[in-house]
Amino acid sequence: MNWFNTLAEQIKNTFSDLYTNISEFVIDLARQFEIAFIVDDRWKYIVSGIGSTLLLTFLSLILGVVIGIIIAAIRATHDKQIDEMHPGIGKSLLKFANGFCRCYLTIFRGTPVMVQILIIFFVIMASSRNKMLCGVIAFGLNSAAYVAEIIRGGIMSIDPGQTEAGRSLGLSYVQTMAYIVLPQAFKNILPSLANEFITLLKETSIAGYVGVTDITRGANIIRGITYQSFWPLFAIAAIYLGMVMFFTWLVDLLERRFKNSER
Amino acid sequence: MKKIIALILVVVMSVLALAACGGEKDAIVMATNAEFPPYEYFEDEVIVGIDAEIAKAIADKIGAELTIEHVDFDSIIPGVQSGKYDFAMAGLTVTDERKELVDFTTSYATGVQVVIVKEDSAITSVDDLFAEGADHKIGVQLATTGDLYCTWDIEDEGLGTIERYNKGADAVMALVSDKVDCVVIDNEPAKVFVENNPGLKILDTEYITEDYAIAIAKENTELMTKVETALTELIADGTVQTIIDKYIPADAE
């Protein structure tokens, strides 16, 4: 039985080593946690950043939706109407506006938002001192490009028969849009729009590059003071994840309600 | 629908109104990178340090309200140049390249670039970095003078590669985890870094000595005159030295 005792002893030692290592590791993490967040109330750097992150996301989305609607209206009208229009100033104007919008979409969807925000902050709005405004404009313009395509997709997804029916009933193009197409399109658009909001929320993490003190910036400040990365980075990862899960839940709720209304 | 549009308009307007408030008269904005102890660093969510205190003293003298902005180090000079910030104090060394972009005041402090290595490092003196056939990985903070000198002296000569980090602390963390062989950085923050990271040391020989000064946009001669006058007075009456001594104990050198 000697071999058995030796083996048992070894297993015990291994486990007690493992236990000591794990408990040391946990104690170490707890100590690091204290240094990262508790000492000098450093958690405030991150918490005060949550407001900036949300404000930046909301304002950017509002700007994005406003510009996005304009672009989508031009693009959808062009796609649906251009063949029926008589040659004239109206038609050339619409063609020009559509071309401009397509350029806009190509540029803003074809370059990284990181580069766009740097260009806005350091070149286009070089003399502006309001970094939040620069952030809102950069993310808003970028988001507008995506929102425009979401809205246009929603409008185009409605069967052309609906428009034809509306027009046959004597409604004008604008009336058909407002009373028949848009209410139906809205249902397709809203969930994608909410997803765009979630994407935007995550993208704002680069706003720190122009000095906006969002939560990523807050974590970086803590990393600068404490020389450790573990807790600050995992903490903000958890906060982003928590926010995204919350908004995803809201979107799901919204989608379910729309589904119910179909019956 | 009208209500929603009205709401959107209100929000947009208030943002624009906020933006307009940025340009009030007697406020001056200083740019710094508050990751450079003891010159500037965060304490209780406020930027403190030698530069912050000297800036406060200057602002008091010229009767202006001081705001300090924490920005990336490589954004400081472009920001001052374009008028985003009125002036910059960030342990900024006067170099010929920077002089072409902005104007500098009289120097108010001297900085020394030093080399941080691990205690058991093969690098024992600064000359090892320039030795023939040397091939070291050197960590620096992006766009600092440490970056500039190492690029000229080492990278351009083919004596090693430079890893540029956004923060000094990131460069030091890279050294701790052996991603780089040494870090070239200013002496005062280096001391703080070494104090906080056991197993690191500063080489005895210094890399280079340099002068710190305040940067102001070339067009802004009015502010330049005011700041220069205030700074000269503060140097003359010993205020600047008192502030420096408060943060850097004399026995440390």
Q: pLDDT tens digit string along B127-172?
A: 999 988 889 999 999 888 899 899 988 988 899 999 998 888 889 9
User: CB distance A223–B169 less than 8 Å?
Assistant: yes
Residues from chain B that touch A66, judged by Cβ atoms under 8 A, are 8, 12
Per-residue HEC secondary structure of A99-156 comes to: HHHHHHHHHHHHCCHHHHHHHHHHHHCCCCCCHHHHHHHHHHHHHHHHHHHHHHHHHH
Per-chain mean pLDDT for chain B: 87
A139 contact B CB<8A: no
A62 contact B CB<8A: yes
* Confidence band of A209 (pLDDT split at 50, 70, 90): confident
Of A126, A132, A223, the CB nearest to B82: A126
* Confidence band of B252 (pLDDT split at 50, 70, 90): very low
B68 contact A CB<8A: no
Q: Token pair of A93, please?
A: 């104007």
B239 contact A CB<8A: no
Chain B, 81-120: which have a CB under 8 Å from a chain A CB? 82-85
DSSP character at residue B44: T
Q: How far does A128 lie from chain B, in Å, by closest CA? A: 6
Cis peptide bond upstream of A112, omega within 30: no
- Per-residue pLDDT, B23: 45
Q: What mean pLDDT is predicted for residues B49-76?
A: 93
C-alpha A96 chain-centroid distance: 30
Residues from chain B that touch A126, judged by Cβ atoms under 8 A, are 82-84
Chain A, 180-219: which have a CB under 8 Å from a chain B CB? 209-211, 213
pLDDT in tens, B112-129: 999 999 999 999 999 999
pLDDT in tens, A217-255: 899 888 877 777 889 999 999 999 999 999 999 888 888
Q: How far does B44 lie from chain A, in Å, by closest CA? A: 6
Residues from chain A that touch B85, judged by Cβ atoms under 8 A, are 129
State the Cα–Cα distance between residues B169 and B18, nearest whole angstrom.
34
Q: Which of B9, B10, B15 is the best residue to mutate to test the A interface, defined by the most A CB atoms within 10 Å of its own CB?
A: B15
User: CB distance A211–B42 less than 8 Å?
Assistant: no
Q: How far does B37 lie from chain A, in Å, by closest CA? A: 9
Which region among A245-259, B7-21, B179-193 has the lowest average model confidence (pLDDT)? B7-21
Residues from chain B that touch A63, judged by Cβ atoms under 8 A, are 12
Contacts of B120 (CB under 8 A, 6+ apart): none
User: CB distance B193–A129 less than 8 Å?
Assistant: no
SS3 B35: strand
User: CB distance A59–B44 less than 8 Å?
Assistant: no
pLDDT in tens, A173-199: 889 989 999 888 988 898 899 889 999
- Per-residue pLDDT, B24: 45
B34 contact A CB<8A: yes
Q: Which of A129, A210, A217 is the best residue to mutate to test the B interface, defined by the most B CB atoms within 10 Å of its own CB?
A: A129
Q: How far does A208 lie from chain B, in Å, by closest CA? A: 8
* Confidence band of A58 (pLDDT split at 50, 70, 90): very high
pLDDT of B253 higher than 70: no
- Per-residue pLDDT, A263: 58
pLDDT of A262 higher than 70: no
Q: How far does A75 lie from chain B, in Å, by closest CA? A: 22
pLDDT in tens, A121-169: 888 988 788 889 999 999 999 999 999 999 999 999 999 899 899 999 9
* Confidence band of B19 (pLDDT split at 50, 70, 90): low
Per-chain mean pLDDT for chain A: 89
- Per-residue pLDDT, B17: 59
| Residue of chain B whose alpha carbon sits nearest to that of A124 | B82
Q: Where are the alpha helices (DSSP H) in chain A?
A: 2-33, 43-81, 89-110, 113-119, 131-156, 160-168, 173-176, 182-203, 215-226, 230-262
Residues from chain B that touch A221, judged by Cβ atoms under 8 A, are 34-35, 42, 70
pLDDT of B179 higher than 50: yes
CATH 3.40.190.10 residue window(s) in chain B: 25-108+213-252, 112-209
Of B12, B84, B173, the CB nearest to A129: B84
User: A114: number of CA atoms within 13 Å, CB side?
Assistant: 6
Q: How far does B36 lie from chain A, in Å, by closest CA? A: 9
The helix or strand, by DSSP H or E, that contains position B148, with its residue range, turns out to be helix B145-150
Q: What mean pLDDT is predicted for residues B189-200?
A: 89
User: CB distance B82–A211 less than 8 Å?
Assistant: no
User: CB distance A227–B173 less than 8 Å?
Assistant: yes
CATH classification code of B112-209: 3.40.190.10
Range picked from A246-260, B4-18, B73-87 for highest mean pLDDT? B73-87
Residues from chain A that touch B41, judged by Cβ atoms under 8 A, are 224-225
* Confidence band of B22 (pLDDT split at 50, 70, 90): very low
Q: Which of A47, A48, A57, A130 is the best residue to mutate to test the B interface, defined by the most B CB atoms within 10 Å of its own CB?
A: A130
Q: Which domains does chain A have, with CATH numbers?
A: 58-196 (1.10.3720.10), 213-263 (no CATH)
User: CB distance A133–B18 less than 8 Å?
Assistant: yes
pLDDT of B13 higher than 70: no
Q: Kindly indicate whether the domain formed by B25-108+213-252 is annotated with CATH number 3.20.20.390.
A: no
Categorise residue B135: left if φ over 0, alpha if ψ from -120 to 50, beta otherwise. beta
Sign of CA dihedral A120, A122, A127, A133: positive
User: CB distance B42–A221 less than 8 Å?
Assistant: yes
pTM of the model: 0.77
The ipTM, to two decimals, is 0.70
